Amino acid sequence: MKPYDDIDRVVERMLDGHEHSRRQFVRVLAGAGLSVSSAGLLAACGGVKGESSGKKASASVRHPKVPIGQWTFSNWPLYIDKSVLKAFDKKYGGHVQYIEDINDNFEFFGKVRQQLSRSQPIGRDIVVLTDYMASRWVRDGFVTAIDQANVPNMVNLVDNLKNIAWDPKRNYSLPWQSGAIGIGYDRRLTGRKLHSIKDLFDPKFKGRVSFLSEPYDSAGMVMLMQGVDSTKASLTQIMNAIDRIEVAQKAGQIRRFTGNDYTTDLAKGNLWAAMAYSGDLVQLKADNPHLEFVYPDEGSMQFTDNMMMPAKAAHPYAAETMMNYVYDPQVAAKIADYVNYISPVKGIKDILLKSDPKVASNPLIFPPANIVARLHPYPSLSPADERSMEDRMAQVVGG
């Protein structure tokens, strides 16, 4: 797929335009800052007061139409066809600054938490976060409500995602892509077909296996292997699963804990089997046909990444226009064709059957019904439980 158009002159003009439209405010520190009393300064820093201020963003809101200027869209890497952004700019004017700076939900949250808890803008108009982090932001009032009048294409949202416990009317979030966690492996190196999560613990693959560092993913899968319904898991069951992972790590079974970066190792043969995200394998197979992805027999964890507007976002209308744009089935089909994850938009399979039948018939992108029945969403945990889980997993992962 050729993601770039030939518009050098436009680019050059845009490069210059950026400098002029940027405004930087810096208050003189000598006067304002240094005269702040030290006690006040210290108390205000470091987030002394709790972050859940209890106030939820108001559910009904109007964002009137304004010209779209420069706005910012933060997303995970390799999660969009860049030509979609160019087409959007062309159609609606302005320029979307697209930054792929979300690599891990907690890492991103850790970076912007201070601004959020002080009700200050984080410089982003759309962020894309996985369910467990999205629900936290909604609960803590870190998001701006969506003016659904600006997003009529919302009706195209697939039925099973229309309601979700933490955002029943989709007032604050809109799914971006879904995916499943399974096993990616090199058929040549493993010597056989894999089909179960237990295969990751096969001593024959010692030191050649990777797990995901996020416990929602890893512990979730291991719990499925242990016969527990991950969606309804208790903290004890989660901790048991992490214990099981720790045993394997200490025995040298697990080579690494990764985020998305198992891809290099898998492609190079450093890893024989990896706990992997479905979308990555579609692309990896293009370079290395020996790689396979399997939805394990016991089931798979399903994740959904959601678009949200952070609180105090400066350009909500632009953000909503983009949300509406990507829910147009034509555009959604284009994105799915590039990203190869499970799209939340209805009706794109038919479009793709005509334009790219290989993608349309790919079970990783359009899983058949029996697979869908085995997909498990994440459990919803209290913040304290979530922290215990992350802490325990960090000990295993070495952090």
Largest distance between two CA atoms of the chain = 71
Give the residue, chosen from 14, 66, 149, 247, that forms a contact with other proteins under the rule CB under 8 A. Answer: 14
Element (H, E) at 87: helix 82-92
> Rounded to 10 degrees, what is the CA torsion of 163, 167, 169, 171?
-140
Question: Which residues 280-309 are close enough to bind other proteins by CB under 8 A?
Answer: 280, 283-284, 286-288
Question: Which residues 124-183 are close enough to bind other proteins by CB under 8 A?
Answer: 124
Question: Which range, of 104-112, 169-177, 302-310, 324-332, touches other proteins by CB under 8 A?
Answer: 104-112
Give the residue, chosen from 56, 87, 92, 97, that forms a contact with other proteins under the rule CB under 8 A. Answer: 97
Shortest Å distance, C-beta 310 to other proteins: 12
CA distance 226 to 244: 10
CA distance 227 to 376: 13
Is there binding between residue 188 and other proteins (CB under 8 A)?
no
- Looking up tokens 């058949």 gives 368
Give the residue, chosen from 132, 257, 293, 317, that forms a contact with other proteins under the rule CB under 8 A. Answer: 257
Question: Which residues 328-387 are close enough to bind other proteins by CB under 8 A?
Answer: 383-384, 387
Is residue 127 a contact partner of residue 74, using CB atoms and an 8 Å limit? yes
Shortest Å distance, C-beta 381 to other proteins: 13
Shortest Å distance, C-beta 60 to other proteins: 27
Question: Which range, of 2-10, 234-242, 322-330, 348-356, touches other proteins by CB under 8 A?
Answer: 2-10
Is there binding between residue 104 and other proteins (CB under 8 A)?
yes
Question: Which residues 196-235 are close enough to bind other proteins by CB under 8 A?
Answer: 207
CA distance 78 to 393: 27
Question: Which residues 259-278 are close enough to bind other proteins by CB under 8 A?
Answer: 259-261, 263-265, 267-270
Q: Which is nearer to other proteins, 316 or 329 (CB)?
A: 316
What does the block give as tokens for 252?
């040298």
Shortest Å distance, C-beta 389 to other proteins: 10
> Rounded to 10 degrees, what is the CA torsion of 139, 145, 151, 156?
10
DSSP tag of 58: P
Is there binding between residue 55 and other proteins (CB under 8 A)?
no
Q: Which is nearer to other proteins, 59 or 286 (CB)?
A: 286
Is residue 192 a contact partner of residue 297, using CB atoms and an 8 Å limit? no
Is residue 386 a contact partner of residue 238, using CB atoms and an 8 Å limit? no
Closest among 35, 93, 37, 96 to 65, alpha carbons compared: 93
Shortest Å distance, C-beta 255 to other proteins: 5
Site map for other proteins, 60-89, x if CB under 8 A? ------------x---xxx---x-------
Give the residue, chosen from 56, 87, 92, 115, that forms a contact with other proteins under the rule CB under 8 A. Answer: 115
Shortest Å distance, C-beta 74 to other proteins: 10
DSSP tag of 56: P
Shortest Å distance, C-beta 165 to other proteins: 19
Q: Which is nearer to other proteins, 3 or 152 (CB)?
A: 3
> Rounded to 10 degrees, what is the CA torsion of 38, 40, 42, 45?
-140
Q: Which is nearer to other proteins, 261 or 350 (CB)?
A: 261
Q: How many residues does the chain have?
A: 399
Question: Which range, of 58-66, 194-202, 247-255, 353-361, touches other proteins by CB under 8 A?
Answer: 247-255
- How many CB atoms are closer than 10 A to CB 47? 12
Is residue 217 a contact partner of residue 242, using CB atoms and an 8 Å limit? no
